[in-house]
Chains A and B, each alone.
Chain A
Amino acid sequence: MSAANIFVTDTAVHVFADGACYEPDTGIVQGFVSKIAKMPHIQAVAAITGTPPIRMLVESIVGEKDYADFDECAARFGEDLRERVRKVPEYFDAGAFFVTIAGWSAKAGAPRAFVLNGCRDNGVDGFRPRPVKTWIQPHDAGTVGFKFDEERAEDCGLRLLEAQRRQRWSPIYSKCEFHAVGGFAEYTKLTQSEITTKVIHRWPDRIGEKINPFSKADEGRGTMAAPTSDVHAASPLDDPLPTSFRGPLKDREEMLFNNLGEMRADPAHRAALVVALED
């Protein structure tokens, strides 16, 4: 699972995700699945990237913990998730997942979102909820400078997904690079009283094959494939980054991948994970 993009505005949360699931060491598509879980009883949605069982776990926790609302979920979910994952981390690929939960905060009277990573990331402990206004994953020079326009939400979100689809990515724990955004493009919008979802595009990807955004079957969306004013190529160093951005992208990625790569290569990486889980 790969692309999950979240934009929080004054009145809504907009979530865009692809629907491809693939083998991390080859990029061969294994199936198609929604990565956006709806939790209308607490007016929230979750965008999940990582091994498929993590989605079941997220829905299981939200169901069993009986959070009163999104605010209680935001306060407790991180620890509840850590508690579950630490019991059988091998089922959840040693924490190689991200969960973003967005919902309507009664306390704030506005939409809010937070993200949790299952492993330590650039000094940020796993399972610690981080509030986010914008979350773009995956991200590289091809998506730097992206501006979300709520008036053209659907088109804007699809352009971002198309840009992500054109790039090659390396999943956590994998040293292989391949195209990793495909299947279908799902758009979910959450407001104070509604959650709506729709498939805004379907790509011609097939189970058992690699994603190829430059295939003939992908033609017809050429205007989406080219850089646009919404998504343009630029060097991260040329573009001013928000203060919340933790250091140069390249350095941060190298840190993350090197750390996780070492964990995977090391037969004792499970022990290292346990340490992380117990922090």
Chain B
Amino acid sequence: MAIFTAIGTAFAAAIGGGAFLAATTACAIGSYYCEEPNE
């Protein structure tokens, strides 16, 4: 839990992570190909 609660912009600012750790740095792309196993 300690790791979890530390995440965020305050944490990023504290360690100098800035934009890299900020929550707005999202980069997931919604398009994908999915093949399910035959089970």
- Which residues of the partner chain B approach A173 to less than 8 Å between Cβ atoms? 26
**18 examples of A-B residue contacts, CB within 8 angstroms:** A21-B25, A30-B19, A51-B24, A51-B27, A60-B3, A88-B8, A91-B8, A97-B26, A97-B28, A134-B35, A135-B32, A136-B32, A136-B34, A138-B29, A139-B31, A172-B29, A249-B31, A256-B31
Q: Are A138 and B19 in contact (CB under 8 A)?
A: no
Q: Which 7 A-B pairs have the closest CB atoms?
A: A93-B26, A137-B32, A134-B35, A50-B28, A139-B33, A138-B29, A136-B33
Chain A residue nearest to B26 in the complex (CB):
A93
Binary flags per residue of A54-91, CB closer than 8 Å to B gives 1, else 0: 00110110011000000000000000000010001011
Q: Are B28 and A169 in contact (CB under 8 A)?
A: no
* Choice from B27, B32, B37 contacting A133 with Cβ under 8 Å: B37
Q: Are B34 and A115 in contact (CB under 8 A)?
A: yes
- Which residues of the partner chain A approach B29 to less than 8 Å between Cβ atoms? 2, 49, 137-138, 169-172, 180
Which of A2, A51, A64, A170 counts the most B-chain CB atoms under 10 A from its CB? A51
Q: State whether the Cβ of A15 lies closer than 8 Å to any Cβ in chain B.
A: no
Q: Are A24 and B36 in contact (CB under 8 A)?
A: no
**CB neighbors of B among A150-182 (8 A):** 169-173, 180
Shortest beta-carbon distance from B25 to chain A in Å? 6
Q: Are B27 and A180 in contact (CB under 8 A)?
A: yes
- Which residues of the partner chain A approach B3 to less than 8 Å between Cβ atoms? 56-57, 59-60, 63
Which of A8, A23, A53, A249 counts the most B-chain CB atoms under 10 A from its CB? A53
Chain A residue nearest to B5 in the complex (CB):
A88
Q: State whether the Cβ of A121 lies closer than 8 Å to any Cβ in chain B.
A: yes
**CB neighbors of A among B1-39 (8 A):** 1, 3-4, 7-8, 19-21, 23-39
Question: DSSP class of A's interface residues: helix, strand, loop or mixed?
Answer: mixed
A135 to B34, CA, bound (A): 5
Q: A22-B25, A135-B33, A135-B35 are in contact. List 12 more A-B contacts (CB 8 A).
A: A1-B28, A21-B20, A30-B19, A31-B20, A84-B4, A93-B26, A98-B32, A138-B32, A171-B29, A172-B28, A244-B34, A244-B35
A31 to B32, CA, bound (A): 24
**CB neighbors of B among A106-137 (8 A):** 112, 115, 121, 130-137
- Which residues of the partner chain B approach A253 to less than 8 Å between Cβ atoms? 30-31
Q: Are A96 and B36 in contact (CB under 8 A)?
A: no
- Which residues of the partner chain A approach B7 to less than 8 Å between Cβ atoms? 53, 56-57, 91
- Which residues of the partner chain A approach B38 to less than 8 Å between Cβ atoms? 133
Binary flags per residue of A20-44, CB closer than 8 Å to B gives 1, else 0: 0111100000110000000000000
- Which residues of the partner chain B approach A188 to less than 8 Å between Cβ atoms? none
Chain B residue nearest to A49 in the complex (CB):
B28
Shortest beta-carbon distance from B14 to chain A in Å? 14
Q: Are B33 and A143 in contact (CB under 8 A)?
A: yes
Q: Are A53 and B33 in contact (CB under 8 A)?
A: no
Shortest beta-carbon distance from A191 to chain B in Å? 17
Q: Are B36 and A130 in contact (CB under 8 A)?
A: yes
